[in-house]
């Protein structure tokens, strides 16, 4: 079985976790601080705050942005459900907007149409690692006095106009889930250039505690903490951070390898007339977190049938990115939502395996199987692979 994805973890990460366990400091401590400093440096942000996952990162970002009950936050429906959930956590209302058909990211024109007097923020998703048009949304936020929060769960290592994702706006949230480009098992990070956000985020992730455990541990004075506000237990462990440090060292290489695989797919499939392949415009740099192919109506095989036939051949795939408004949890509370572009993209897209390292025979087998199923008459392409 060829999986849809798997993390790139080596003996170095295992040794780092082992050493941290034996150090006696396994919860949030010195390794977390080191990981934060390295990640901030990598992205070009002034500050980074490690948390338990990207969902908690988004939740805390909503809080420090002042978003609360009755406020509206515009976001894509075409995103993992955690995007919308983070808005609901603070009592706000997710307002779903359309995405652009060729890059799966929010459509600025459609977003502007949905802005009301209740709108307080735009939650921008860099879907499957492809950067969204950050400048267009910063202009909208400036025009309507809105907050911009970036859901960069899939975008570690991606870049927009020459700068790594993570430094373009006030709050950017990352994921280190195993499906992402680098992983700490689970975990997340928030980057920001605002010191006030940085200070409050550190409080909120650890029960509002005025002095964290690490500071008390190294102090030669007795320190008593105070709890300054109602916070959360959203900490990352030092074990995870130790793994993250090793992963971050490899991030650019991993992205390079993923892009090579994506380029091989693009070259193999470029002449199939009834599919659309990922498009990377000038100034946009994707980490190829996932590789998604859109099947046009003229495609001779149904998407679901194609997925099953590939699975029968030992190749795991996934459907197109979910549309949150069609999930049961949201159908109950938000009705009559019409997002034809998002729905069509979910229904007609297939995500193919992409991970590091992929063996050459695996890549060729996927390509050959895909081509034979989707375009069996193309003997030339079949024989090439």
- What is the phi/psi pair of residue 137, to 5°? -80, -30
Helix (H, G, I), strand (E, B) or coil at 171: strand
Tell me which of 120, 164, 180, 202 is the catalytic residue: 180
What whole-number distance in Å separates Cα of residue 110 and Cα of residue 71?
19
What is the torsional sign of CA 213, 217, 220, 224?
positive
Q: How far is CA 84 from CA 66, 88, 122, 139, 334, in A?
A: 17, 7, 11, 23, 12
Active site residue 250: no
- Starting at the earlier edge strand, list the strands of the sheet with 163-164: 163-164, 159-160, 284-285
C-alpha of 31 from chain center: 23
Which stretch of DSSP H or E encloses residue 359? none
- Is the Cβ–Cβ distance between 216 and 29 less than 8 Å? no
- Starting at the earlier edge strand, list the strands of the sheet with 188-192: 47-51, 188-192, 171-175, 147-151, 119-125, 72-76, 93-97
CB atoms within 10 A of CB 304: 11
- Is the Cβ–Cβ distance between 46 and 40 less than 8 Å? yes
What whole-number distance in Å separates Cα of residue 87 and Cα of residue 61?
10
- Is the Cβ–Cβ distance between 170 and 147 less than 8 Å? yes
What whole-number distance in Å separates Cα of residue 280 and Cα of residue 361?
26
What whole-number distance in Å separates Cα of residue 141 and Cα of residue 56?
23
What whole-number distance in Å separates Cα of residue 207 and Cα of residue 242?
23
Q: Which residues carry out catalysis? A: 180
């Amino acid at each position: 079985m060829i999986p849809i994805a798997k993390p790139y973890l080596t003996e170095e990460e295992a040794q780092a976790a082992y050493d941290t366990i034996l150090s006696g400091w396994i919860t949030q401590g010195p390794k977390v601080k080191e990981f934060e400093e390295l990640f901030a440096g990598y992205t070009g942000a002034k500050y980074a705050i490690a948390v338990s996952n990207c969902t908690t990162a988004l939740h805390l970002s909503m809080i420090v942005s002042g978003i609360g009950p009755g406020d509206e936050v515009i976001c894509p429906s075409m995103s993992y459900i955690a995007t919308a959930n983070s808005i609901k956590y603070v009592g706000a209302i997710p307002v779903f907007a359309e995405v652009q058909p060729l890059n799966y990211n929010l459509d600025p024109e459609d977003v502007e149409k949905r802005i009301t007097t209740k709108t307080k923020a735009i939650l921008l998703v860099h879907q499957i690692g492809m950067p969204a048009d950050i400048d267009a949304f910063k202009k909208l936020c400036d025009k309507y006095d809105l907050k911009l929060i970036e859901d960069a769960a899939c975008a570690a290592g991606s870049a927009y106009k020459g700068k790594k994702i993570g430094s373009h706006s006030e709050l950017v949230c990352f994921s280190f889930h195993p499906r992402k480009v680098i992983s700490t098992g689970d975990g997340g990070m928030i980057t920001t250039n605002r010191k006030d956000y940085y200070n409050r985020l550190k409080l909120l992730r650890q029960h509002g505690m005025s002095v964290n455990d690490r500071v008390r541990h190294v102090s030669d004075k007795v320190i008593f903490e105070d709890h300054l506000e109602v916070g959360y237990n959203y900490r990352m462990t030092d074990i995870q951070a130790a793994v993250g440090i090793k992963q971050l060292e490899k991030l650019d290489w991993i992205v390079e390898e993923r892009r090579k695989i994506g380029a091989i797919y693009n070259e193999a499939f470029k002449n199939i007339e009834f599919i659309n392949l990922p498009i990377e415009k000038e100034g946009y740099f994707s980490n190829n977190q996932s590789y998604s192919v859109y099947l046009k109506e003229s495609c001779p095989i149904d998407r679901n049938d194609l997925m099953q036939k590939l699975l029968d051949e030992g190749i795991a795939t996934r459907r197109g990115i979910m549309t949150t408004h069609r999930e049961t949890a949201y159908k109950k509370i938000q009705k009559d939502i019409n997002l034809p572009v998002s729905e069509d993209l979910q229904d007609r897209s297939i995500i193919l395996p992409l991970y590091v390292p992929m063996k050459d025979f695996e890549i060729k087998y996927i390509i050959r199987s895909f081509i034979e199923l989707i375009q069996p008459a193309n003997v030339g392409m079949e024989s090439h692979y």
